[in-house]
Structure 1
């Protein structure tokens, strides 16, 4: 029998933690809906005196928002597509393939997880500069075409699938690609969906790499655009914080929507991602 005091305490603690985690998002939202005069008040208000929905339109006009959005979408879709497909093929090789040095190579893939991109961006930048890819979509997408974490997640999922399923498919005449994309991938859909969400969030929020690899508004992405907006109002942030928060909300909205619809897949995938 459950202890009522323990249950109540657990619920209260969960509510407090939730409020603490949600408060910054709430503050960003109400700041985006305030007027500049309300932002200058000595005592901050916890709800706008007047809801200024037009702040979002003003933020959209403050920078080339449409162009930055197109660039961000192209970058994100390209990275997600490549990471999913390369991850599926690599994970299949590491989980079901038999070749010399398989486990050693997989350890090298895992070692890539501990190397931050700031360590390797200089040689990559020099290489891309020599082939003329700076300020192009190639520079934004190709260096992130593979995800070590994605390969790890998919490998763990594929290892949990019985080899008899693959052998039965081969007996029925299925090719290697058909086995991979018509048999294994649907069975690993929770992990694939999780990797899609993780890759989408990382690509959509990318700042350092697009900042280094682009130098014109024609190729900038949203994260860099918001930074440009902040720099353009340096010294007057208090007067224009509502515009910065409005732009930030427009940027994170697609991530929130995707996460809401995919959270059940993330939980299912994490349950199967233990190292085997």
Structure 2
């Protein structure tokens, strides 16, 4: 009986702690959504309210008026889709080589790719910036997409998935005359679909949240992405945030909505892929 009581007590404590941590993490998101629905006068109250007195849905329309929101959204979408296509294809071919290929120095090269995970963008952006300038790619989608076309983490993730697949099926396909293109796109990709979907989601989230790279690679307002546009909106009203804070929050809510939707729909694939991505 004492053991059962202790087990129940531990379960209750864990539940309470889990609920407390969840509330702590979700409260900033809640506050952002609530603030986006408040009026300007309510935002300037000395004592903040936890729930809006009235739902000011016009704040979302105002965000489109204050900044070219549709343009920023479109730029972000183009950059994200371009990165998904490029990174996914590079990762598929590289992962196939490291998982199923046979060549000298394969493991050493793979370790060098993993080492790239610890190199921050701030270390490499100067030579890449000079390269983009020499190619006249600055302030274009080429500069936003091409330099980030290879993902060390994506190669690692798919390589682990491909290594777990049976080679007998691939050998049978080779006997039937299948080339590398067919092996990768018609066999390996469908067999590792959960991992591929996970990688697509992670690339989308990373590119949608990207701030540093678009900041240094774009100059004109026409090429800005959402993160830069919202940051510029905030900086443009520095010292008078109370006047437009509800507009900034409305723009931020619309910016994170695609991430929340995509992650919520695909989170089970992410958990399954991560569980199968141990180093082998």
**TM-score, with length taken from structure 1:** 0.97
| Residue pairs, 1:34-113, within 5 angstroms | 34-113=38-117
Structure 1 residue 272: Cα displacement: 0.5
Match for residue 20 of structure 1? 24
- Deviations 1:147-174 (CA, angstroms, capped at 9, x unpaired): 0000000001111111112112212322
Q: CA deviation at 1:265?
A: 0.3
How far has the Cα of 1:69 moved from its partner? 1.3
Separation (CA, whole Å) in 2 of partners of 1:6 and 1:28: 34
**Matched residue, 1:116:** 120
| In 2: Cα distance, 1:6 partner to 1:173 partner | 60
Which residue among 93, 106, 129 is the counterpart of 1:125?
Answer: 129
1:218 aligned counterpart, secondary structure: helix
1:181 Cα deviation (Å)?
1.1
Matching of residue 164 in structure 1 with residue 206 in structure 2 = no
Q: Is 1:259 the equivalent of 2:269?
A: no
Q: CA deviation at 1:218?
A: 1.3
Distance (Å, rounded) in 2 between the aligned partners of 1:174 and 1:120: 39
CA displacement at 1:33 relative to structure 2: 0.6
Pick the aligned partner of 1:232 from 232, 236, 242. Answer: 236
Q: SS in structure 2 opposite 1:140?
A: helix
The superposition leaves residues 193-219 of structure 1 with CA deviations (integer Å, 9 ceiling, x where unpaired) of 111111001111111111111110111
Tell me how far apart the structure 1 counterparts of residues 126 and 177 of structure 2 sit (CA, whole Å).
48
**Long gaps (5+) in structure 2:** none
State the Cα distance separating 1:256 from its structure 2 match: 0.5
TM-score, normalised relative to structure 2: 0.96
Which residue, out of 29, 33, 36, partners 2:37?
Answer: 33
CA distance in 2, matches of 1:111, 1:236: 45
The reply to whether residue 4 of structure 1 matches residue 8 of structure 2 is yes
Which 5+ residue runs of structure 1 have no aligned equivalent? none
Question: Which of 151, 154, 173 in structure 2 is aligned with 1:150?
Answer: 154
**Counterpart pick for 2:222 among 215, 218, 236:** 218
